[in-house]
Amino acid sequence: MENIIEIDGIQVSGDHFIGGKRVSSTERFPNHSPIDGHLIGYVAAGLPEHCNAAIEAAQAAFPAWAALGPDKRREHLHRFADELKAWGEKLARVECEDNGMLYARLKGHQIERCAHNISFFADEALKLKEHRIEGRNAKHHVRFDPAGVCVLITPWNSPMMLTTWKLGPALAAGNTVVIKPPEWAPLTCSMLADVAAAAGMPPGVINVVQGIGATTGAALVADPRVARVSFTGSVPTAKTIAKSTGQNLVPASFELGGKSAFIVLEDADLDRAAQTAALQYRNAGQVCLAGTRILVHSKVADDFVARMQKVVAGLRVGDPRDASTEIGPIIHPRQFDKVAGFVDRARDRGARIVWGGAKHEAGDLYYQPTLISDVDQGDEVVQSEIFGPVLVLQRFDSDDEAASMANGTRYGLAGVVFGSEGRALRVAEQLRTGMVWVNSFFLRDLEAPFGGVRDSGIGREGGQWSFEFFCDMKDVMLPQKPYAPVFAGR
């Protein structure tokens, strides 16, 4: 009998989805809501036989899906995107309960973005067949051929959106996939398979195997039949995956953590900068792109902090199902303890807690928006990703010092610079990151490359960069003039 979990009257399967069917497991793991800690239900744990069956199903579906070509696949994927919008209310309610993200944000933004992730790449794939190069000796037709079975591993902080962000280009390129959802928030990733089935997606094109990363995830990425692995998550897990994929020479893409700098120059619009800095607490600080190190010019630091404090004081922490809530819970007790531990150790070492620094009265997994100052560049709160509603304040006296401080961690995902445009652009050019926002934050276009440097990842997602990863590229050449074979020296 299928394992059905009910959330607000919405029935969600807790089983795997393999070859177009729900598949149960003799082993399950508990899934709790971060809103109040209640047990949502038990989710199937992927065993070796489930991983094997999912890869076999994806392999069996691959030839026909790849042979459809980008035009026919586009039709399927647009139906998928339309169906996703139709399921929007259900998906938003389930993800809110499962993950703790604000329901208002899910309904008002995330669902539309998820559908766009699918439809955009379906359209973008049509451009691939037009890639030609007129060389001096040959006419080159560069083919983007489907690679095969792709394993997609997504994180718990935005599971549905980040799954579609990988799923769109993987499917549009002609691949079939096995999704491994995050164990702390697996349900909407699994529901995407039902959405695709309702849209008429062929069986085996999308498969979902739920489970723990160390077992289920490890089995999937180590399988030599897998052609690509796309992972978003932590640096230690990426290193483990890299060892497995390296054994089989399987290309892997890693979008990892960040410790991005939010730089406020002396001539910045302080009100706009302070309001934007407060946005770094969004999703309870569980955002890899967030500018968690607030670097402010010494001459304006006190003024900036006072303005930011007024904004933060007005933020409402509470139940993410409430439309007036602006900051929800931390996902899991283990993550909550990690966040609180960073703050407690910083306090013990003499750092100043400017505001926050303790559990919020809203519930067990809610933490006060926090700002820590009086820290050194080598302190762990400056160097390590906290992934909670905790920011660190540092001061600088010159633009070069700001850039040096910003570059002074092992991460390099993103950055934010507020100041006069020319000056801010000069600082942005010095930052060793994959992305920099100038006088703005979180503006994204799917055509643009997304990814980091150093410990923030390997590879880029978005636009053609996604297809370069999910495809095997082939150069088919025709001579520019009549061809005559000639041996060397003749």
Q: Hey, which CATH number is domain 4-256+452-476, 3.30.530.20, 3.20.20.210, 3.40.605.10, 3.40.109.10? A: 3.40.605.10
So what's the pLDDT on residue 17?
Answer: 98
Least confident of 332-336, 340-344, 479-483: 479-483
Give the Cα-Cα-Cα angle 192, 198, 200 (nearest 5 degrees): 110
Give the mean pLDDT of 57-67: 98
d(CA 292, CA 391): 5
Give the mean pLDDT of 408-413: 97
Q: What is the pLDDT of residues 434-481, one digit of tens each?
A: 999 999 999 989 999 999 999 999 999 999 999 999 999 999 999 998
So what's the pLDDT on residue 33?
Answer: 97
- Per-domain residue ranges of the chain: 4-256+452-476, 261-438
Q: What is the pLDDT of residues 398-409, one digit of tens each?
A: 999 999 999 999
Is 358's pLDDT higher than 90? yes
Least confident of 48-52, 89-93, 107-111, 377-381: 107-111
Give the mean pLDDT of 403-419: 97
Give the mean pLDDT of 150-158: 96
Which of 402-407's residues contact partners 24+ apart within 8 Å by CB, and which partners?
402/261, 402/263, 402/265, 402/295, 402/297, 402/427, 403/427, 403/430, 403/431, 405/261, 405/293, 405/295, 405/377, 406/261, 406/263, 406/293, 406/295, 406/431, 407/431, 407/432
Is 163's pLDDT higher than 90? yes
Fold of 261-438: Aldehyde Dehydrogenase; Chain A, domain 2 (3.40.309)
With a CB cutoff of 8 Å and minimum separation 6, the contacts of 144 are 128, 129, 131, 173, 467, 468, 471, 472, 473
Is 484's pLDDT higher than 90? no
* Dihedrals phi, psi of 124, to nearest 5 degrees: -65, -30
So what's the pLDDT on residue 486?
Answer: 78
Positions marked active-site: 255, 288
Angle between helices 111-124 and 88-99 (to 10 degrees): 120
Average pLDDT, the chain: 96
218, 190 contact by CB (below 8 A): no
438, 425 contact by CB (below 8 A): yes
Is 488's pLDDT higher than 70? no
Is 490's pLDDT higher than 60? no
So what's the pLDDT on residue 130?
Answer: 72
Q: What is the pLDDT of residues 184-227, one digit of tens each?
A: 999 999 999 999 999 999 999 999 999 999 999 999 999 999 99
β-pairing verdict for 390-396 and 293-297: parallel
